[in-house]
Chain A
Amino acid sequence: MIVAGCDVGSLTSKAVVMRDGRIIGRAVIKSKAKPWESAESVMQMALAPAGLGLNDVCYCVGTGYGRDKIPFVHETVSEIGCHGKGARWLVPSVRTVIDIGGQDCKAMRLDKDGNIEKFIANDKCASGTGRFLEVMAKALGVGLGELGDLSARAKHPVTLANACTVWAQADVIRHLHDGVPVEDIVAGINNAMAARTATLVRNIGAEPDVCMTGGVAKNGGVLASLERLLSLRLKRIRREDPQITGAIGAALFAAEHANGGHR
C-alpha cells in the first residue's frame, strides 16, 4: 500500500512517499506563491523516481503552514503532531523535539508512547526562526546552506548586540563594514539563533533524548551552539534529511488512517 505525506511550509515544501513502512520517494522544493502549486510539484517529484503517479497513492496527509490549501490530501494534521511522529520514527528514543521552520520555531515534549505532552511555539517574532538566518545570509551574500560550514572556521565569533532580526541585521552589516571575517560574523549569527532557540526549549524543559528537525538541523553551527547552551548532546538525524521529518510524520499518519485505524 502506498501512502504519502505533504508538508507545505512557508519557505520549502516537502513530500514523502511510503510503501509498507519504508520510504520510497522524497522531495524538497522551495515553496511557490500558491500552496497548491507547491504541493503538486513536490508530490510529483517524490513520486516520479519510483515510477508512480498521484493515482497510486491510496491515502495522503497534508501538514504545514499551507496544509489547508492542498487539493489532493485526504486529511490534514498539525505540524506539531507530524514533527513529533516523524522524529520518533527517525529517533525512537526521542522525548524532546525542536523544529525550526521558515517562519516559526517549535519545541515539544513527547511522553514515552510518543504522545505530545507539552509544546511551545514562537511565530510572532522572526528572531529564532529560519527567517532570521535567511535575512542574515542575504545580508552577507552567502547561501543559507553554507552557514554551518562557515561558522566551523570562525576564530573570534562576534556577539550580536540584539536578538531582533532588524537590529541584528544592522549589526551584521556594521561588522562587515568593519572588516570582520565573514566566518566570525556567521558564528555570531548561529550563536544568536541558538540562544533564542534555547530560551524556547528551556520553557518546556529539555528531556533527553533531544533532536532537532527542519532545515536548520543541517546547520552544524546552530546545533553545536545549542548543545553548549543546553549542556546536552542533540541526537543527530542521519537516516533521512531532517528537513523532511514533518512529511515523514504525515506519511506515517496516512499509513495508519488508510487502514481505517485511528490509533
Chain B
Amino acid sequence: MANLAASLQHHFADFKQQKESVVLGMWSFLVQEVMFFGGLFVTYVVYRSQYPDAFHEGAMQLSSVLGGFNTIVLICSSLTMAMAVHAASKGNRGAIAFWLVLTIVFGSIFLGVKVVEYKEKFDHGFIPGIADHGLRVNHETHQPRPTGFALYFGLYFAMTGLHAIHMLIGIPILAIIAINGLRGKYGPEYYTPVEMTGLYWHFVDIVWIFLFPLLYLIGAH
C-alpha cells in the first residue's frame, strides 16, 4: 500500500479537511458546468418555442434507436463508475481497475455511436458551415426546410458536441485513475480522486439524460 501520508497535502490540517475542501471544490466546479451547458439549454428553449415544427422535423432526422441505445450505455457507465468508487472505498485494487476499464469501454461505445451519427449527418448535409446542403432544402421532396431547421441542427451539434468533448476529457482521466488504483494508491482512508472522477462522470451522464428527450424524442411522433 503506497504511503498514505503522501496523499495528505501539506497545507491541510488533516484528511478530513482535505476531503471536505476537495468535495466542495468539485461541487463548485459542477455548479459552473450546469451554467455552462445551461446557456445551450436556454438557447434550445427559446428557439424550440419559436419553431416547434422545424425542431420536430429536425428531430425526425435522428435515430431514437441509436439515441436510446446510447442512453442505456451511459447509464451502464454510471453504474460501473459507482462500482469503481465502491471498490476504491474497499481498497480492492483489481476491482477498481476492472470497473473503471468497463466505464471506459461504455464511454467509448457511446462515442463510437456518436461518430456513426455524425457521419450520417455529414452525408445528409445537416452540419452547419461544414456540410450544410441539406439544411436549406429537403432533397427528397425538394421543398425548402422550415426556418429553424438549421437552428435545430446547430443546437444538436453544439450540445452533443460539447457533451462529447466532456467525455473525451473524462476517458483519459478514468485511465489515469485506473492505473493509480492498480498501483494501490486508494483505500478506505483515501479514495477521494476516484470519488471526484465519479462526480464528473455522473454529471456528464445527467447532461445526456436531458439531451436525449430534448433532441431525439421530440421527433418520436
- Is the A/B pair a real complex? no
